[in-house]
Structure 1
């Protein structure tokens, strides 16, 4: 199957993007220096092409009831238009089908953004669960999507807006979005920095890209996106969790809305059974205390047994090797990581390392 291209493909080439296959899409891994791009987002502002993500609009009288059954988190928490909710979508055994963001527009309209690599299975699963509900799910393949992130991101985006648009965008609180004509602008992201995710007609893609770059916002590739999200302690689907892991062993227990007890969401019974039996593993952050770099699939040796790194990298912001790992629930404050046959000391921390450009390590 041939790889797909976003509406920004030619712009990536013009900007010097090194293109790679990512989830069936030709995407830029970097534009010359992944390290420089990482620092650009932490210190100023960068733009990511995220048009490979799947945007779905759910409309109908049963939209809310459907999502309350489909998702582990509860959309009933959403009462103001544009408010966003992060949730896992589980299978019957509490494995994670995908993680997603859902935006509440009104009681009969929700916008959902799911991952690129899970598009086909997600849509098939969601359509299957939709049977019996008065609602329709529509893929918005007519839309492009950009994320502008960094401490100066909002100010630089505001510089491109006329007064009537600014009046809508400027008051937006974190994790909230709003429609501006046929655009949807949301104060969300995947970097641990402030900024916006912009969804707009794909026909405007090249014009928008040029304007954003002209405002002093640099293009950023998938390489820096990964180190930024790892520093921020944000899970990557297929790496840190999948259909074989539950939210309880993926650091995502906070996304489960157990109340009200009457809400019978998919996977609830399996989660309750897992909880009652005693959760065997926990999801932690690791900071390497010796020299080296932490990578995914490296074995972690704890007092309570063996675990595994799910994501690892060298943190440009901290100047340290960091990782996220799934380890035995009894694992203490220190462990050892097997790096090429040698054991290296690591400190066990919360899986969150950097927020708004600053270390959150104790």
Structure 2
């Protein structure tokens, strides 16, 4: 039996193409993945991301606990509502999950974790808490829904629906959040465009979704979400990273604090592991389509592999993220093995697209 979000009936009423997404019944598209992609780059669209899990951690020692749990430094969070992107590592330095942490007060931090790793994450967080901070209250919030409204016109559309939210949220910088009534409004997203991710009570989600739609916000599915995040150079857990890969070889060194004296799970492993690989962008120069797991042939002795690939609607050509030898430089030409043929591709610095602008 597939799990469903509070918006499942709304998706079906809008004639969504539904698919099994890691055990969740989710919309792939509402007619045209391509149109949904362009709609968000050029105007505004909305995604149901209620399959992701919000986790509230409360208690006197929550900051100290998170200092040791995640690779980024929660001491950067000093303003209520500020968010931090980070990885949670195992002792070998592998990535258990990537997540966002919101600082709400010294006794209340909120985490948003991936749907496919949610159960594993809760087990891991709970087990670590028992050892290090047994008095903390760890609460998975399946009573909440989450809707991402993304695109250059996203914020104004949200303000037109949540009429008392503009004054409170218009000065939010990226990776900041605020509570407005029943809405937890965060200026975050997974598309490379501006917008909000809005958490609200599950029983209010369908009404809010419909109000957004009436205001001109088009629904978008998993297909467009994937091409948008790929263009934006954003990692997907299970493809670009997992428990066998460390963040330093996943383009996520910027999320790891190795400078402070603070210790965290996986730190010692990261300090001694050689960094032989990097996550790089590829733009295909020949005709074809780049896909996950295709082999990348370089001028170096070792080979690489595409972790995420596909057709970029914005660039109108095929792009990919690939884990390749660390010594390969931006601008070099490599070859990708596609159906027993070696197709030429150029190594580029990602993101490929951000805020509607092509960057490669």
Length-normalised TM-score, structure 1: 0.97
Match of 2:314 in 1: 317
Q: Does 1:327 align with 2:324?
A: yes
Match of 2:243 in 1: 243
Per the TM alignment, residue 256 of structure 1 is displaced from its structure 2 partner at its CA by: 0.3
Match of 1:143 in 2: 144
Q: What's the secondary structure of 1:204's corresponding residue?
A: helix
Distance 2:203 2:284 in 1: 47
Match of 1:307 in 2: 304
Match of 1:161 in 2: 162
Per the TM alignment, residue 182 of structure 1 is displaced from its structure 2 partner at its CA by: 2.7
Match of 1:41 in 2: 40
The runs of 5 or more residues in structure 1 that have no matched partner are none
Q: What's the secondary structure of 2:303's corresponding residue?
A: strand
Residues 302-311 or 324-333, more deviating: 324-333
The runs of 5 or more residues in structure 2 that have no matched partner are none
Q: Does 1:21 align with 2:20?
A: yes
Match of 1:104 in 2: 103
Distance 2:2 2:203 in 1: 20
Per the TM alignment, residue 76 of structure 1 is displaced from its structure 2 partner at its CA by: 0.3
Q: What's the secondary structure of 1:309's corresponding residue?
A: strand
Distance 1:195 1:29 in 2: 21
Distance 2:207 2:162 in 1: 14
Match of 2:337 in 1: 338
Query: Residue by residue, what CA displacement relative to the aligned partner does 1:28-85 show, whole Å, maximum 9, x if unpaired?
Result: 0000100000000001100000000010001001100010000000010000011010
Q: What's the secondary structure of 2:288's corresponding residue?
A: coil
Q: Map 1:278-297 onto structure 2 (within 5 A).
A: 278-297=274-293
Query: Given that residues 283 and 351 in structure 1 are in contact (C-alpha distance below 8 angstroms), is that contact kept between their aligned partners in structure 2?
Result: no
Query: Given that residues 303 and 330 in structure 1 are in contact (C-alpha distance below 8 angstroms), is that contact kept between their aligned partners in structure 2?
Result: no
Q: Map 1:1-362 onto structure 2 (within 5 A).
A: 2-131=1-130, 132-133=132-133, 134-163=135-164, 165-261=165-261, 263-274=262-273, 278-304=274-300, 305-332=302-329, 333-361=332-360
Per the TM alignment, residue 166 of structure 1 is displaced from its structure 2 partner at its CA by: 2.1
Number of aligned residues: 355
Distance 1:306 1:330 in 2: 12
Query: Residue by residue, what CA displacement relative to the aligned partner does 1:294-339 show, whole Å, maximum 9, x if unpaired?
Result: 0000000011121000000110001111000001112241111001
Distance 2:151 2:256 in 1: 29
Per the TM alignment, residue 161 of structure 1 is displaced from its structure 2 partner at its CA by: 2.5
Per the TM alignment, residue 259 of structure 1 is displaced from its structure 2 partner at its CA by: 2.7
Q: What's the secondary structure of 1:314's corresponding residue?
A: strand
Distance 1:204 1:194 in 2: 24
Query: Residue by residue, what CA displacement relative to the aligned partner does 1:172-224 show, whole Å, maximum 9, x if unpaired?
Result: 11110011123200000000000000000011111101100011000000000
